[in-house]
Structure 1
Amino acid sequence: MSGVGAWIRYGDPISAAQIDFAAEHYRAAILQPWELEAAAELKERRPDMTVLCYKCLSSTRSYEPGPLYSSGVSYAEADQEWFARRTTGERVEWERYPGHWQMTVWSSDYRARWVDNVTAELTDSPFDGVMADNDVFDDYYGLNLPLREAGSMAELREGLDALVHAAGGALNEVGKVLVPNIAESRRQPGRWDAHASYGGGFEEVWLGYSPTDLFDPDTTEAQLPQATGPGLSILRVPTDGNDDHPNFRYGLAAFWIFGAGRGAYSATGHDDYNHTQHVAELDWDLGAPLQDPVRRGHTWSREFTGGWAAVNFNRDGRRRRRLKVPPGMIDAHGDPVGSHLVLAPHRGQVLRRA
């Protein structure tokens, strides 16, 4: 059995039981770069699984002992040259993430070293490629620009754009993919397609920022083209860490309606990348679409050869929607579903054919 799930797993050490579960239930996995044995085992047991190693584009971490690092340039290697500095000369440590230090992504020398290091590390690796984190759009980490050599976030974005293209091209040349964590691509037309063109893209805040801060319909619908690629789209919806949280099925329904089962999907708590998140519907294959997405205001549905999905993007509690369900559908418990169902705002439903 394997479904559409993505295992985002760069936290505590991995257990054998988690490897067993992942091999059975996930389509894609993101691991730490030193978890080579886990990557090799997953690829042996599931050659079709895309297994990526984590690398940060924007920072280096002072607490990692090595010899493999979650950054492209280690803390020791960065030395004095590639640390971003405030106008007063101090290095820039990220707010809320102690030991994470901003790098000079606007420096062509830094970018070249990042690409050389990561390409050399991945060339003979069991990993299929890299999930490149912190392809940032705005100031999320208290950089408080201007910095000594960068006056605006636009300059950081230009540096990251150059780094993504250089790294993606180099990794593709050695048979590996690059899947950046592309922040807020909806705010810059063409950014998702450009940065995902080397193997795919990762959207860490799909449909909302937090379990209780979900996007309004217009913002949500601006994200939906991410579900169709290019490459492997990994879409993560925020929950409180509980698999029974309604956001899990809300995002999964949207994943099917707009991606038709392409890519991989996850739902986790904030920075909660230690577990094997799962609901029964994550393993389902709804088959081929029988129609394009059907819209009624900000409520959408789609029928497939093996099932049906519906989602209500409205945020106003009064905007409940009654939807007609195709005949012969059952829920996750195997119980038949009637001819209609009512979806509350920010809720989704995935059903399969009996």
Structure 2
Amino acid sequence: MNGVGAWIRYGDPITSEQIDFAAEHYRAAILQPWELAAAAELKTRRPDMTVLCYKCLSSTRSYEPGPLYSSGVSYAEADEQWFARREDGQRIEWERYPGHWQMTVWSPAYRTRWVDNVTAELADSPFDGVMADNDVFDDYYGLQLPIDGARSMAEIRDGLDEIVHAAGKSLNDVGKVLIPNIAESRRQPGRWSAHAAYGGGFEEVWLGYSPTDLFDPDTAEAQLSQAAGPGLSILRVPTDGNDQHPNFQYGLAAFWIFGEGRGAYSATAHDDYNHTQHVAELDWDLGRPLQDPVRRGHSWWREFTGGWAAVNFNMDGRRRRRIKVPAGMVDVHGDPAGSYLVLPPHRGRILRRA
């Protein structure tokens, strides 16, 4: 086992040193679709790693030179009718993301072209499949509905349902997986399992929106089933970009308690997909669970054959939790963990057996 980390890496050009590090430490990687050499190198060195190419479901980008694109339909190829428009006829450029143009995901012709293009591109590719970004739930990019052709986000979500199912079946038919970035699935029962049915799901805002805007206990606990699949669950927790940020351990503990070490995990700053985020505990194998998750209020813990994890989802600063630690556990430095630990709110801890 080379760790449970996910390398979310669709930013600046990749270095050879990063490839070396990724091959040693990560279970899954998400790269840009033109990074074929990097994908092939990772698959040669780590055949067990799941290497995905990034594709956007909802937009096309006007700044990409090609011939490979981060969208399923390039800006040049997009038919005029596939650009979403305001009711005055203007195309819709995303707020905060210049050069990203909303597509008519409710159009069957657009969806068919997206699926055909992506399947053809991936069929003989070193990539194991696609991370399909912007499987959105709400209006995150300033669409300001109603717009021409779509009166509500429900219509956009319906279009995304259609494209996810069509793309998933098509990619599976050529031996590839589809792992959508499934936004806010906790708000619609069954959405995660339905959209993750073709290889897995990516939760980009697991346990919180930002380093300082973490979810309340009920919201966090509504996401926990995502850790258990189906397929490969890639879970990202927000930090400030420093690997020593406490959210790294917070999310990793929850990843183990509720996912049993399946899936892949990452902790990054917002849109900071240029680095090799890592802590030593990311490489640990806690082994098989010896019990179901144990709960007291909004604190949880679980013992494994090779270690132990605990997490406190509470928000109130007075809700610290004193939790008994199984015998024989040590911390990342190899020091005995003691019989008890105290977890403040929004904190987690993993230990391993000596």
TM-score (norm 2): 1.00
Q: Which AA in structure 2 matches 1:192?
A: W
2:120 & 2:81 partners in 1: Cα distance?
21
1:151-178 deviation line (CA, Å, top 9, x unaligned): 0000000000000000000000000000
2:337 & 2:202 partners in 1: Cα distance?
34
Residue 322 of structure 1: CA displacement? Answer: 0.3
Residue 255 of structure 1: CA displacement? Answer: 0.1
1:40 & 1:281 partners in 2: Cα distance?
27
Cα root mean square deviation, aligned = 0.5
Query: Could you say what secondary structure the match of 1:81 adopts?
Result: helix
Unaligned 5+ residue runs, structure 1?
A: none
Query: Could you say what secondary structure the match of 2:224 adopts?
Result: helix
Q: Which AA in structure 1 matches 2:314?
A: N
1:10-42 deviation line (CA, Å, top 9, x unaligned): 000000000000000000000000000000000
1:211 & 1:113 partners in 2: Cα distance?
38
2:287 & 2:194 partners in 1: Cα distance?
29
Report the equivalent of 2:293.
293
Residue 79 of structure 1: CA displacement? Answer: 3.9
Report the equivalent of 1:231.
231
Report the equivalent of 1:315.
315
2:342 & 2:134 partners in 1: Cα distance?
38
Q: Which AA in structure 1 matches 2:3?
A: G
Residue 80 of structure 1: CA displacement? Answer: 1.2
Residue 81 of structure 1: CA displacement? Answer: 2.0
1:128 & 1:81 partners in 2: Cα distance?
32
TM-score (norm 1): 1.00
1:171-211 deviation line (CA, Å, top 9, x unaligned): 00000000000000000000000000000000000000000
Report the equivalent of 1:115.
115
1:92 & 1:2 partners in 2: Cα distance?
43
Q: Which AA in structure 1 matches 2:337?
A: V
2:345 pairs with 1:330: no
1:241 & 1:333 partners in 2: Cα distance?
23
TM superposition outliers: structure 1 runs of 4+ over 2 Å: none
1:34 & 1:173 partners in 2: Cα distance?
22
2:56 & 2:130 partners in 1: Cα distance?
10
Q: How many residues align?
A: 354
Q: Which AA in structure 2 matches 1:33?
A: P
Report the equivalent of 1:59.
59
Report the equivalent of 1:343.
343
1:29-86 deviation line (CA, Å, top 9, x unaligned): 0000000000000000000000000000000000000000000000000141210000
Q: Which AA in structure 2 matches 1:161?
A: D
1:223 & 1:201 partners in 2: Cα distance?
12
2:40 & 2:91 partners in 1: Cα distance?
37
Query: Could you say what secondary structure the match of 2:194 adopts?
Result: helix
